[in-house]
Structure 1
Amino acid sequence: VPIIMEVVDTIEKLRERLNALRWAEALGASGQYGPRSVGLVPTMGHLHEGHLDLVRCSTRENEITVGTIFVNPTQFNRSEDFELYPRNEARDVKMFRDAGTHLVFVPKSKEIMYPNDHSTQVTCEPLASRLEGSFRPGHFNGVTLIVTKLLNLVQPSILYLGAKDAQQCVVLSRLVKDLNYNTQVRIVPTHRDPNDGLALSSRNALLSETERKIAPTVYLGLRVAQLVIESEPKLSTSEYVKEIVSFIYKTYGERAADDLNLTWNVEYVSTANRETLQEINGALPSETLLSVAVMLGRARLIDNIVLHSKATLISTDSSQLHAMLKPTIERVLEQHFQTVINQITLKN
């Protein structure tokens, strides 16, 4: 399919143009009669390289890529957060075009997706009530509703999601499975700043220049915890992991924010099962989702990392283990993160 991107703003136009693209020449890449494969990349706009990773993955795997731009009001808990969300439609459309997208759906008003008499809800419990759901009640009801609508409209072969939003990936994967959508879910690795590891996010635009220098602390805590338990498997318990993250956040994030009169508030540090999102206590299994949420100024930053534990039952005294903790953290910091620490502490 030649890449001459179109932008549509109504459901009727979306269906019309997508149907024409899907059945163009009535031949797929296999040379067999039938519809062309379609990849869906849903976004709320203010695109960055992380979004473009999703688009590139879709264009490699599908004959048609559909992007969407819609700041979905039903997933915001506070109206001020909805108003603050960064928007730049012209820039986003150009980025979609340059990345090889075929069709972009930009509903011209809220009423396109939610008519005044709209009354249906889509829930996915208890997954939606854990982690983010505890701090943003109803958030995932808005996510599941809009994605259900988009899946029904686009009927994609593959839905593309970013791993940074780990809980969203789990919830939407469950939705696709439970509602029997003929759609695969492809989770694309988090795109990070190559210099300091900060996960790219549209909300990063809300950070001031100084806040941006402190923001890498969010990922620093996760990565240090990962490296510590890799080097000392005996420390692979939820309690020690949370203590490591808290140590980094207090030493660097909280201290820097206090010195500069900035807001730094850790909402949660979680060690959870990757599939059920249930909190893990005690020894970590072979894979654990370590996730965090931090308010830095006006920006709510979330991030996660997967911990791979090789811990075995060891009868080491807990006081000995605790004595190992700080020296191991300091060794990891010195070996891997001096440049990032200099940035966070404003030494360069």
Structure 2
Amino acid sequence: MSSTIDDHPAGPASGPVVASTRDELRAARESLTSRDVAVVMTMGALHDGHAQLVRRARAEHDHVIVTIFLNPLQFGPKEDLSRYPRTFDADMAICTDAGVDIVFAPTPDVIYPDGDPGVRVSAGPLGTVLEGQSRPGHFDGMLTVVGKLLHLSAARTAYFGQKDAQQLLLIRRMVRDLDFLVDVVAVPTVREEDGLAMSSRNTYLTESDREVALCLSRALQAGADAAAYGPSAIRRAAREVLVEEPLALVDYLVLVHPTTLSDVPEWYRGEALLAVAARVGTTRLIDNTPVLVGPGGGRLDVFSPETTAASAPIR
């Protein structure tokens, strides 16, 4: 029988315990009444997309840990680490409202006590395409910190948003290939009322930038609406929306297999990932949607268990 939010504790009435060191996290973890613990990993600047991840974790597990860590390994020398929004007090309010038990908010010297780590997780070939091509080394840094936080949190389940589809795929592959004893759950992308995918980087957008940025979600919807007619129709419909907005500098628009990230051929029928990245003003944005290609096809919230099984952990 599936659980509901009423089946689980509501979280501490006084708000989450805040841990900033390994020892504090361990002590807070040991004080929990159950080993049924989920983790939601963030870089801070929380919004309702993060809150939705926490609410889902809260509904399905006895306890929830949220990590807030701005990971320097994920940022290249010309990227936005220094200006990335830092909103800890507002983040804590969201965590309190969502019933989080523990917030782990370490500094870089806690996560990387010897400085730049000598050993990192390699994302392999899947980490060099799409976002990896534009941001070399980004996914190695992401997987390294996710691996460390999975160990430190000792969670049974980790929740990630479908919006970061390539990241989600790579985390699932790491969990499978390196035998992490954790389940990875995808939660559908949360969008603003106008369709813009929620992102901490949306705070960088001016009012006019935001109007331009809406072409990404419109392109994805147009592509999904053409899914019944095959890959070429999907790509064409999405591209037609993007070319009408010259102020969006498109990095890529792809229709790829959800577990290999290879372009799907014209004869392909089944689930695929329609993904786009573009620079709007000074901000680089990404968005995607799973689609079912072929007769009766259309937009999906997340991929089916059968599709994600190829990157699921082996028990």
TM-score w.r.t. the length of structure 2 is 0.86
Q: Runs (4+) of structure 1 moved beyond 3 Å? A: none
Distance of 2:54 and 2:210 partners within structure 1: 26
Unpaired runs of at least 5, structure 2: 1-8, 297-315
What's the CA shift for 1:115? Answer: 2.0
Q: Distance in 2 between matches of 1:80 and 1:277?
A: 24
Alpha-carbon separation, structure 2, partners of 1:199 and 1:223: 12
Q: 1:315 aligns to what?
A: none
The answer to which of 115-124 and 288-297 deviates more is 115-124
Deviations 1:84-108 (A, max 9, x none): 211111111111111110000111x
* Residue 190 of structure 2: aligned partner: 191
Instruction: After superposition, give the CA deviation of every residue in 1:168-218 in whole Å (9 maximum; x if it has no partner).
Output: 110001111112111111100000113x21110111011001111221110
Give, in angstroms, the shift of residue 112 of structure 1. Answer: 1.0
Matching of residue 16 in structure 1 with residue 15 in structure 2: no
Aligned counterparts of 2:294 and 2:236: Cα–Cα separation in 1: 19
Q: Separation in 2 of the partners of 1:124 and 1:305? A: 22
1:313-324 equivalences under 5 Å are none
Amino acid in the other structure paired with 2:242: Y
**Equivalents in 2 of 1:170, 1:192: separation in Å?**
21
Alignment of 1:216-255 (within 5 A): 216-230=214-228, 233=229, 236-237=230-231, 239-251=232-244, 253-254=245-246
> Are the structure 2 counterparts of residues 286 and 80 from structure 1 closer, same or farther at C-alpha, using a change threshold of 3 Å?
closer
Contact 1:130 1:278 in 2 (8 A): no
Corresponding residue of 1:210: 208
Residue identity opposite 1:246 in structure 2:
R
SS at match of 1:279: coil
Residue 50 of structure 1 aligns with an amino acid whose one-letter code is: G
- Larger-Rg structure: 1
SS in 2 for 1:307: strand
CA distance in 2, matches of 1:80, 1:193: 25
- Cα RMSD after superposing both structures: 1.6
- Spell out the pairing of 1:130-169 with structure 2 (5 A cutoff): 130-169=129-168
258, 265, 273: which one aligns with 1:289: 273
Distance 1:279 1:130 in 2: 11
Query: Counterpart of 2:254?
Result: 270
Deviates more, 1:61-70 or 1:282-291: 282-291
**Partner in structure 2 of residue 306 of structure 1:** 290
CA deviation string 1:33-81 (max 9, x = no partner):
xxx2001000001111110011001111111100011111100123541
Q: Which secondary structure state, in structure 1, belongs to the residue aligned with residue 30 of structure 2?
A: helix
State how far apart, in whole Å, the 2-side matches of 1:19 and 1:60 are: 21
Q: Is the 8 A contact 2:65 2:102 kept in 1?
A: yes
> SS at 1:289's partner residue?
strand
Shift in Å at residue 311 of structure 1? 5.2
Bigger Cα displacement from structure 2, 296-305 vs 143-152: 296-305
Gap change, CA 1:292 and 1:80, over 3 Å in 2: closer
Per the alignment, in what secondary structure is the counterpart of residue 55 of structure 1?
helix
Residue correspondence of structure 1 range 11-160 to structure 2 within 5 A: 11-21=22-32, 24=33, 28=34, 36-107=35-106, 109-117=107-115, 118-160=117-159
| The structure with more helix, counted as a fraction of residues | 1
Residues 139-187 of structure 1: per-residue CA shift (max 9 Å, x gap) = 0001100000001101111000000000011000111111211111110
Contact 2:226 2:233 in 1 (8 A): no
Any conservation in 2 of the 1:271–1:288 contact (CA below 8 Å)? Answer: yes
TM-score normalised by the chain length of structure 1: 0.78
Deviation digits for residues 7-27 of structure 1 (CA, Å, limit 9, x no counterpart) = 111111111111221xx3xxx
Secondary structure at 2:169's aligned position in 1? helix
Distance 1:291 1:217 in 2: 13
Q: CA deviation at 1:228?
A: 2.3
One-letter identity of the residue aligned with 1:197 = G
2:80 is paired with a residue whose SS is: helix
Task: Quote the offset at 1:240 in angstroms.
Answer: 3.6
State the 1:116 CA deviation. 3.0
Counterpart of 2:189 in structure 1: which amino acid? T
Write the distance in 2 (CA, Å) between the matches of 1:160 and 1:311: 31
CA offset digits 1:288-321 (Å, max 9, x no partner):
1110101101221111112212259xxxxxxxxx
Aligned partner letter, 1:193: E
Instruction: Provide the rounded CA distance (Å) in 2 between the counterparts of 1:215 and 1:56.
Output: 27
Q: Residues 242 and 310 (structure 1 numbering): CA distance in 2 closer, same or farther, change over 3 Å?
A: closer
3-state DSSP class of the match of 1:123?
Answer: coil
Number of residues of Structure 1 aligned to a counterpart in Structure 2 = 284
Paired position in structure 2 for 1:7:
18
Whole-angstrom CA distance in 2 between matches of 1:80 and 1:162: 22
Map of 2:170 onto structure 1: 171
Tell me, yes or no, if the aligned pair for 1:128 and 1:140 is still in contact at 8 Å.
yes
